[in-house]
């Protein structure tokens, strides 16, 4: 077998590899166990038109734990790359008369994640710059020093590992973001993911605003249409209303029959929560009236009722391994639900409690006679806008 560092190429007297020089701390050792794990089986493609040089380099790489393959021409380069999927490519600057820097763009397109290292005895600052500009990650000068080649490959593999980890983290964050967007608007979801806002898996208690929206007269409409047509109607109406909630900083917590529950200030309360809820309710009412004016509802003529309250409530997961659901619990939710049920004697009626009126600063609300609400002792002040 040809010796690694000192044996000449038959008939040439030249060394395949430069002698390994012991320079103390600069010499490359076997690396950590983690490095060895990353190296073992890593795919390296050697592209060099000197078969003896290629064979020795391939043997050396295999001894170091790599899965190595050689190629002596560029004819099958792209097909080999696509089939072998190398993580690292050691590419000679010239393969016959082919200046391989001109192939880097095609190579990058064929296998964008591979680390390409140029190798040549004709390295110049100009060729090195050209190669790096076209996509090579490094340029090593022949005769190669085996530990240096190993170090370069290990470095590339580490970078690829870090890149893959970052990609996985990004994918996980995107998945978390999509999950959070089911409950929160984009701005709040991004705050949670960035760490600027935190959520507790055990749940949190917040002082915010809740809004129940319900479509009235759906029984009559269901009798006049098929179930599929009614479902289409609900999807369109509720989708528009939910978009209006999101546009004013609210979040959809739960769909409930022909309506939904929205929150303003969960999980991050602000002084504008009540005002945002009132604005969302008014926009929903105006949108509903616009649909009525265009006779979208035909003869069914459904109505809409909205109940809004402010106060403390609990938000968190409730249930067990059989079924877990993100739920809200609090007296203000019970009142808001009752207000939504009371609303609707006039189309587009919006009923609020006193705390929401005070926090929103809304001055044009009509105070209704105190009303007894089922499930509560005493009477409750209700306002209509």
Domains of the chain by residue range: 24-167, 197-384
Quote the CA–CA distance of 176 and 383 in Å, as a whole number.
Answer: 39
Check if CATH label 1.10.150.20 holds for domain 24-167.
no
**For residue 221, what pLDDT is reported?**
75
Quote the CA–CA distance of 180 and 202 in Å, as a whole number.
Answer: 16
**For residue 292, what pLDDT is reported?**
75
**For residue 264, what pLDDT is reported?**
95
**For residue 37, what pLDDT is reported?**
54
CATH class belonging to 197-384: alpha beta
Q: Given phi > 0 = left and psi -120 to 50 = alpha, else beta, which region is 323?
A: beta
Q: What is the DSSP letter of 343?
A: -
Cβ pair 23, 143 in contact under 8 A = no
Tens of pLDDT, residue by residue, the chain (385 residues)? 333 333 333 333 334 555 544 443 333 344 454 555 556 789 999 999 998 889 999 999 999 899 999 999 999 999 999 999 999 999 999 999 999 999 999 999 999 999 999 999 988 999 999 999 999 999 999 989 889 999 999 999 999 999 988 888 888 888 887 777 766 666 667 666 666 555 555 788 999 999 999 988 777 777 777 888 888 888 888 888 989 998 999 988 888 888 999 999 988 899 999 999 999 999 999 988 887 777 666 556 678 899 999 999 998 878 877 787 778 999 999 999 999 988 875 667 899 999 999 999 988 888 888 777 776 666 788 999 9
Cβ pair 363, 236 in contact under 8 A = no
Cα–Cα distances in angstroms (integers) from residue 108 to residues 67, 111, 153, 167, 284, in the given order? 21, 5, 17, 19, 52
Element (H, E) at 62: helix 51-63
Which among 230, 289, 240, 290 is positioned nearest to 260, based on CA atoms? 240
**For residue 185, what pLDDT is reported?**
65
**For residue 337, what pLDDT is reported?**
92
- Chain centre to alpha carbon of residue 370: 49
Which among 322, 194, 192, 344 is positioned nearest to 268, based on CA atoms? 192
Instruction: Name the one residue in this structure whose structure tokens are 């391939």.
Output: 58
Which CB contacts under 8 angstroms, 24+ apart, belong to 342-345? 342/305, 342/307, 342/371, 342/382, 343/214, 343/305, 343/306, 343/307, 344/214, 344/216, 344/303, 344/304, 344/305
Output the six-digit token pair for 87. 């993580």
Quote the CA–CA distance of 3 and 6 in Å, as a whole number.
Answer: 6
């Amino acid at each position: 077998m040809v010796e690694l560092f000192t044996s000449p190429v038959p008939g040439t007297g030249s060394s395949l590899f430069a002698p390994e020089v012991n320079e103390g701390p600069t010499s490359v050792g076997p690396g950590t166990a983690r490095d060895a794990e990353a190296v073992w089986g890593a795919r390296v493609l050697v592209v060099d038109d000197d078969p003896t040089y290629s064979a020795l380099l391939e043997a050396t790489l295999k001894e170091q734990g790599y899965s190595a393959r050689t190629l002596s021409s560029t004819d099958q380069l792209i097909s080999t790359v696509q089939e072998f999927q190398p993580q690292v490519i050691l590419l000679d600057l010239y393969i016959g008369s082919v200046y391989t820097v001109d192939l880097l763009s095609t190579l990058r397109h064929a296998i964008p994640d591979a680390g390409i290292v140029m190798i040549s005895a004709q390295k110049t600052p100009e060729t090195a710059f050209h190669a790096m500009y076209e996509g090579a990650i490094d340029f090593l000068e022949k005769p190669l020093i085996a530990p240096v080649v190993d170090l370069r490959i290990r470095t590339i593999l580490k970078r690829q590992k870090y890149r893959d980890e970052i990609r996985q983290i990004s994918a996980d964050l995107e998945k978390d973001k999509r999950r959070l967007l089911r409950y929160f608007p984009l701005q709040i979801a991004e705050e949670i993911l960035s760490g600027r806002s935190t959520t507790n898996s055990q749940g949190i208690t917040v002082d915010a605003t809740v809004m129940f929206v319900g479509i009235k007269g759906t029984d009559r409409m269901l009798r006049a249409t098929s179930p599929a047509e009614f479902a289409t109607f609900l999807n369109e109406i509720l989708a528009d209303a939910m978009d209006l909630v999101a546009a004013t900083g609210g979040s959809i917590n739960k769909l409930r029959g022909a309506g939904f529950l929205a929150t303003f200030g969960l999980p991050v309360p602000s002084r504008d929560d009540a005002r945002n809820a009132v604005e969302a309710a008014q926009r929903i009412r105006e949108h509903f009236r616009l649909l009525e004016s265009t006779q979208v509802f035909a003869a069914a003529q459904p109505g809409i009722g909205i109940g809004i309250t402010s106060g403390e409530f609990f938000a968190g997961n409730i249930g067990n391994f059989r079924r877990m659901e993100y739920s809200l619990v609090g007296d203000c939710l019970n009142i808001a639900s009752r207000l939504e049920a009371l609303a609707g004697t006039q189309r587009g009626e919006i009923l609020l409690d006193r705390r929401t009126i005070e926090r929103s600063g809304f001055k044009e609300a009509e105070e209704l006679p105190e009303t007894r609400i089922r499930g509560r002792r005493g009477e409750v002040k209700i306002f209509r806008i």
